[in-house]
Structure 1
Amino acid sequence: MTVLLRLARRLPLWPVLGSCLSGVLRHALGVLIVGLAMHAVLSAAAGSGGGALPVLGVLLGLSVLRGAARYLEQYLGHQVAFSALARLRLDYYESLIPQAPAVVAAQRSGDQLEAATRDIDRIETFYAHTLAPVVSAVAVLAGTATAVLLLGSGPAALLVALLLGAQLLLVPAIGARLLLAAAGKQGAVRARASALVADAVAARDDIVLAGAPDRIQAQVAALDEEVAAVERRGARIQALRRGLTRALLLTGVLLPVVWPGGLSLDQQTGLLVAGLFFAAHLPVAAVDGSLTALAAAQAAAARYLERCDAPPAVPALLAPQPAPQPVRGSTPRLPEGPLDVALEGVRFGYPGQPGARPVLDGLSFWLPAGARAALTGGTGSGKSTVAALLTRTYDPEAGQVRIGGADLRGIPPEQVRAQVVLVEQNPHIFAASLLDNARLGSDAGEEEVAETLRALGLDALVDRGLGTRIGGQRQPVSGGQAQRIGLARALLKRPPVLILDEATSQLDAATQDRVMDVIESRLPETTIVHILHRTELLQRCTHHIALE
């Protein structure tokens, strides 16, 4: 419950309270309607009742009032639900920002999708559809026991209180820990299944070409069987609970009828108590189903908070500001103008790999402002790791990464990435317009965007119109076109430091030369770091850093 109470602080309080109070009123009116109706019938049977019309009028008025309470309960409950969905999803995405982009490497996309959708849906169910029924059940239990006591029978009131209390407290306690553990395991397995399916859909062409669909289907089936096994264990507990619920209901209804004298009741009052118990039992018994969802909500909330509370891959500030660094307002920034790049005794190993050999150990180099550098090395030598350190995706374990003389640990990550731009081998193309894709991260005008795209040889795309939607499954672009759109983004930002991680690998030699001529002519003072496997671009570089 602790995790759910922590999350409750993020939600509006008054709709929750209003929903609970409306639920209490609705169920109390339900018990009252049954009690009045039975009293009228029993009185008429005994020949002591009055006219039927006044009773029908009262029952009709109470029914209308109960309907209004039901409407208000549902209205406020859904207001809580929608507020919870919006607030929790927004908080989740905001929590990912300081963890990005490292979080993408640390977690599979299916895991993140599970947290952003199903986990939040399960949490929302607790606040919108679990809390109010529990509060209503407690109120109905107390009210019904008090009403029976007022009828003049202490033993009957005690019986009602004990039976309803057992339904409210004892039945949900049966297997509660097992259900909570099962909900946690079920959520974890579903997350693995979502991740597997997401990966399989993304790699569907490769899977089919490799003849591996049956293997993937078998893996999904195995995960489904794990979920089914957990659900079967939960179903056994639920069957036991429902059996006990029926036994309590029969006891509470039959005992006042068949043995009224033992409860200090006459026959007529015994029937009335039986009716009141039946009416009160319905909302109390419904709590069992609500509390079943509670186990899933607790497990989902724990996973949600684990992701939201995860520390950022790099803290905003770790080192004091160097003396020459200019500061605008209160936000530290890199110096203006051309910037040099330096790594000094850098050691780094990826988080989550304790005991593994560092990817970089003692790496040092210096590039003057405006340099054209090639960073080469075999697979796993740490080339992309250098790019991650220069963009402050990670901080080094030892040593310093300096740009323009400033230790990057003293600069907020968003400020580093505003001036150090990385273009990767496979830039993401959004299912959006060509214009929006090209000027991602910049505020360039349409004419500048069109001219830049044409300079990079994307005339065919520009001729179709900057508003043309590209990306996604319906309007895919080629690998070479995607790379040039990624390079256009960098050119429009005009960064002082540009890192090209195999950013022209899908271009032919002539197109690559044309693109590099454009980049070098438009960014003459930019420090450019080429991460290379091929050697064609070495001749364009003034510095060469070879990693082993």
Structure 2
Amino acid sequence: MIGVAPPAYDPAAPESVTTLPVGAPATVRAYVRELMRRHRRAFTTLVVVNAVAVTASMVGPYLLGGVVEDLSSGSGDLHPGRTVALFAVALVVQAFFVRLVRLRGAMLGETMLADLREDFLVRSVALPPGVLERAGTGDLLSRITTDIDRLSNAMREAVPQLSVGVVWAGLLLGALTLTAPPLAVAVLVAAPLLTVGCRWYYRRAGAAYRSESAGYAAVAAALAETVDAGRTVEAHRLGRRRVALSERRIAEWTAWERYTLWLRTVLFPVVNATHVVVLGATLMFGGWFVLRGWLTVGQLTTGALFAQMLVEPVGLILRWYDELQVAQVSLARLVGVREIETEAGEDHVRPEGRDVTADRVRFGYHAGADVLHGVSLDVPAGTRMALVGPSGAGKSTLGRLLAGIYAARAGEVTLGGAELSRMPAERVRAHVALVNQEHHVFVGSLRDNLLLARTGASDAELWAALGAVSADGWARAMPDGLDSEVGSGGRTVTPAQAQQIALARLVLADPHTLVLDEATSLLDPRAARHLERSLARVLDGRTVVAIAHRLHTAHDADVIAVVEDGRISELGSHDALVAADGPYAALWRSWHG
């Protein structure tokens, strides 16, 4: 493997797949400092306990050096009983505190890992929905799974073990300097070799591990997209193309895996050579120092043992620092969501009304390819508006802009005069909600599923919300009522019931403006009609923007906007647009045959 040539490093290739940002070094350092502040007491305890363990481990070499010194000077007063007793006490103390170090290190690692998971979850949930939609499932999935897994090992072991190694090495060097000062110079002989090897490795490792992580994200994205669109892939006979894409992504990822492995095959022999040089230099220089009378034989013995003991903490530091190189990349990918959250909104931006307005809005999913072209639209409070038009005209995109899911590239979308893209996501959701075909029933009780919308709601309010969408009948029929387990592993709910749970959450959240994207189109006709009656009660008194894929939805709207090629070509009531005999009238005639 040493003879394998590394691939030409091109960080843009794999990383270009990632949409969510990777945290800047300053962001990573700030988060690490925050973790250190949260757990400074635990860190201090770990350092103190480790210092006691290391000090106890140095008692043996010190006693052995004293025995050798006494023997070399011809002293007959060796006191073997006292020496053995002190050595036994030191061993017991060392064993106890080493166990305590491992326990404290494991506790510290698990606590920091729990904090990291919780911080990432809280920040991910708070991200603007449009950011997550544009990122896709692959990158987010790889961060939640692979990056968390890599950080699990680092948090559980690398951070505590690295702290242990640094304290251990520092105390041994200090003891060596106090016991045999000339030998400290001998240890430094190996420093240039170790420095050069580590600089060579660490200058390449960070970028290589970033590319490796981005390559895995690309693999996850390709596989997830293929599975999600399996029927479409099969219908259009895209199987070979998708397999070829997956194989290419896997090849790119494994190339970076081989490269990082090649880097380690260079570093590890350098580290082993350093250990040999340290011990050899200590014995050679130490022997010369003894001959010159600068050291005693006892000091040489103690110093040589201390130098030999340095092998383990130095190896520990390098091993776990290498692990932290991988963890640093994963940490940067996880804390990158903090930068999005910082940009996500301005807390002082508040709406002063309920009118929704789009002013010369332009938007595209890719640079240079706008989907909407200068769209302007006014939706007064309490209005029921329908967006109609052919497939691909931009109806759903416009609806998501009006719901605050996306931010316009040019122009602005405002609610009560306040620009939606500058408002925090939680405030936007308090005023505007998007209701579509997607519905989620989370694992847990029915009560927990409903409390997601309003955590402080009472049971009476929960039952009232279920009643508002005609879901209280089947909910009361469940064995434990609101405490009944639903979702995976619990009671299976039908698609119509899942949508009713989603609508009940909507009642609890009580937004004044709703954007509907054919919320019942995936249900069978009987369930759809029943749910539409429930939905009608939810819509009463609210501003509604309905994205109408089926024109019967548009018939009863106050205003109909016809979207064609990313522009609004017509605007008016159903009767007025039919009488105008324009694009809407043509759509209406084609719908009714």
TM > 0.5: yes
Structure 2 residue corresponding to 1:547, chosen from 560, 563, 578 = 563
After superposition, give the CA deviation of every residue in 1:257-300 in whole Å (9 maximum; x if it has no partner).
87653785566654444333223333233322132223223333
Q: Aligned partners of 1:410, 1:23: CA distance in 2, in Å?
A: 50
Three-state SS of the structure 1 residue aligned to 2:212 is helix
Q: Aligned partners of 2:174, 2:198: CA distance in 1, in Å?
A: 18
Shift of 1:196: 4.9
Structure 1 residue corresponding to 2:177, chosen from 145, 156, 176 = 145
Q: Aligned partners of 1:128, 1:515: CA distance in 2, in Å?
A: 55
Q: Aligned partners of 1:473, 1:39: CA distance in 2, in Å?
A: 68
The reply to whether residue 428 of structure 1 matches residue 448 of structure 2 is no
Name the Cα RMSD after superposition. Answer: 3.7
Corresponding residue for 1:324? Answer: none
The reply to whether residue 489 of structure 1 matches residue 539 of structure 2 is no
Structure 2 residue corresponding to 1:354, chosen from 353, 357, 367 = 367
Shift of 1:504: 0.9
**1:74-153 equivalences in 2 (<5 Å):** 74-116=102-144, 117-118=148-149, 120-121=151-152, 124=155, 125-149=157-181
Q: Aligned partners of 1:157, 1:508: CA distance in 2, in Å?
A: 81
Three-state SS of the structure 2 residue aligned to 1:392 is coil
Corresponding residue for 1:239? Answer: 268
- In structure 2, relative to structure 1, the CA distance for the partners of 1:15 and 1:380 (3 Å cut) is same
Q: Aligned partners of 2:422, 2:65: CA distance in 1, in Å?
A: 76
Unaligned residue ranges in structure 2 (runs of 5+): 1-24, 565-593
TM-score (norm 1): 0.81
2:436, 2:518 within 8 Å by CA — same for their partners in 1?
yes
Q: Aligned partners of 2:432, 2:329: CA distance in 1, in Å?
A: 40
After superposition, give the CA deviation of every residue in 1:55-112 in whole Å (9 maximum; x if it has no partner).
1121122223323432443344334323322333333334335432123113244433
Corresponding residue for 2:217? Answer: 191
The reply to whether residue 363 of structure 1 matches residue 378 of structure 2 is no
Q: What amino acid does structure 2 have at the position aligned with 1:291?
A: Y
The reply to whether residue 69 of structure 1 matches residue 97 of structure 2 is yes
- In structure 2, relative to structure 1, the CA distance for the partners of 1:261 and 1:349 (3 Å cut) is same
Corresponding residue for 1:7? Answer: 31
- In structure 2, relative to structure 1, the CA distance for the partners of 1:507 and 1:198 (3 Å cut) is closer
After superposition, give the CA deviation of every residue in 1:191-224 in whole Å (9 maximum; x if it has no partner).
3344456556766788899878976874675366
Q: Aligned partners of 1:3, 1:370: CA distance in 2, in Å?
A: 44
Q: Aligned partners of 2:435, 2:322: CA distance in 1, in Å?
A: 49
The reply to whether residue 60 of structure 1 matches residue 88 of structure 2 is yes
Shift of 1:417: 1.5
The reply to whether residue 316 of structure 1 matches residue 342 of structure 2 is no
Structure 2 residue corresponding to 1:503, chosen from 515, 519, 522 = 519
2:372, 2:394 within 8 Å by CA — same for their partners in 1?
yes
After superposition, give the CA deviation of every residue in 1:127-182 in whole Å (9 maximum; x if it has no partner).
32223312431332232133113xxxx3x44213434x457645533422122232
2:180, 2:299 within 8 Å by CA — same for their partners in 1?
no
Q: What amino acid does structure 1 have at the position aligned with 2:478?
A: R
Deviating more after overlay: 300-309 vs 424-433: 300-309
1:317, 1:409 within 8 Å by CA — same for their partners in 2?
no
- In structure 2, relative to structure 1, the CA distance for the partners of 1:90 and 1:384 (3 Å cut) is same
- In structure 2, relative to structure 1, the CA distance for the partners of 1:91 and 1:530 (3 Å cut) is same
- In structure 2, relative to structure 1, the CA distance for the partners of 1:459 and 1:396 (3 Å cut) is same
Three-state SS of the structure 2 residue aligned to 1:309 is helix
Corresponding residue for 1:280? Answer: 310
Three-state SS of the structure 2 residue aligned to 1:506 is coil
Corresponding residue for 1:463? Answer: 477
- In structure 2, relative to structure 1, the CA distance for the partners of 1:408 and 1:196 (3 Å cut) is closer
TM-score (norm 2): 0.76
Corresponding residue for 2:255? Answer: 226
Corresponding residue for 1:327? Answer: none
Q: How many residues end up aligned between the 2 structures?
A: 522
Corresponding residue for 1:323? Answer: none
Corresponding residue for 1:16? Answer: 43
Q: Aligned partners of 2:504, 2:300: CA distance in 1, in Å?
A: 84
